[in-house]
Chains A and B, each alone.
Chain A
């Protein structure tokens, strides 16, 4: 994946959602990334530091939560979170599984609040 272009789109989305809170700054951006999202968290964090300047998230921290791979077995219908990237049912050994989660990169939430003072007016 291309983390910089993904983060640029992420920041545009953050700006759009922050518009409903005029006068506020975005203080935190929360995202979720699964192991099949094709996204490297370290590179997302690095791109975020670089690209947040000039957006409403200039002062925001980024929190990246790891979404586990979640599969459902078509044979025994078990839904399970996998620790590893394994597409086999741990209960019945079935291979016909559907991916229910872990293949997405999502903007989960933004936290808005008072903007930090940009400079002292004393």
Chain B
């Protein structure tokens, strides 16, 4: 349609009246999520990774819960038996990438202030990873999110598995305070369990609180000093990847 036919009056008042006649009040039903396009890209990434046999794991937690330490422990446990790479998000510095680099291919995603990762950052990081380390299929691609239990819960990064780390120093009352993060996750890793004798943290209470939000959550108590529970955790990841290879593609839970 010719844009000069628009209802904006610019000639005589009679013209303006005629022009304004088609402009009747009308309700246009949309029913769309403004983030649908981004969700679509994330879903496509999830399908491509599944076809390559790569389980994508999104690790979320509050700052300092031990995401980087857990990834280093996993890589150390597997040694060369699993091909694992990491995209690690931080607001500033490449300290986490430096900690992981001795164990696994890693790309640092620096958000410059954003408190969570979004899919476009993952897409760019994945390209960088392939460029630097080659495009050989991985068994596990781990996405270490920014330390934050709020915003990361609202962003699909194209992961198959969402894992929440809860450290014993944070307290066993956290699940109900951050319902979306727990509701959308598949598993909870309780970290720093070596400190349990010194803290008023009840594994039973944390489990009960978490499962009241998401009944099918699996919980894994671990410690990295010394390594405790890491084998069980890695076995769980292997089992999830086997499900993926069998055609069962998971996504963040509703």
A13 and chain B: residue at smallest CB distance: B34
Binary flags per residue of B16-33, CB closer than 8 Å to A gives 1, else 0: 000110111111111111
Tell whether A109 pairs with B183 under 8 Å between CB atoms, given A23-B7, A95-B211: no
Is A108 part of the binding interface, using a Cβ–Cβ cutoff of 8 Å? Answer: yes
How far is A81 from B150 in the complex, measured between Cα atoms in Å? 24
Interface residues on A, range: 35 or more
Q: Name the one of A2, A109, A117 contacting B27, with C-beta atoms under 8 angstroms.
A: A109
Instruction: List residues of B (14-53) whose CB comes within 8 Å of A's CBs.
Output: 19-20, 22-35
Binary flags per residue of A1-41, CB closer than 8 Å to B gives 1, else 0: 11000100110110001101111100100000000111000
Closest Cβ of chain B to A6, distance in Å, is 6
Question: Are B23 and A106 interface neighbours, CB within 8 A?
Answer: no
Which residue among A107, A117, A121 has the maximum number of chain B CB atoms within 10 Å of its CB?
A107
Question: Are B8 and A23 interface neighbours, CB within 8 A?
Answer: yes
Closest Cβ of chain A to B94, distance in Å, is 24
Closest Cβ of chain A to B65, distance in Å, is 20
Is A60 part of the binding interface, using a Cβ–Cβ cutoff of 8 Å? Answer: no
Which residue among B28, B151, B183, B213 has the maximum number of chain A CB atoms within 10 Å of its CB?
B28
Question: How many residues of chain B are within 8 Å of chain A by beta carbon?
Answer: 38
Closest Cβ of chain A to B4, distance in Å, is 10
Closest Cβ of chain A to B199, distance in Å, is 27
Contacts of A114 in B (CB 8 A): 7, 20, 23-25
Question: Are A109 and B5 interface neighbours, CB within 8 A?
Answer: no
Q: Name the one of B26, B150, B180, B215 contacting A24, with C-beta atoms under 8 angstroms.
A: B26
Tell whether A108 pairs with B25 under 8 Å between CB atoms, given A1-B151, A87-B213: no
Q: Name the one of B34, B150, B180 contacting A36, with C-beta atoms under 8 angstroms.
A: B180
Is A105 part of the binding interface, using a Cβ–Cβ cutoff of 8 Å? Answer: yes
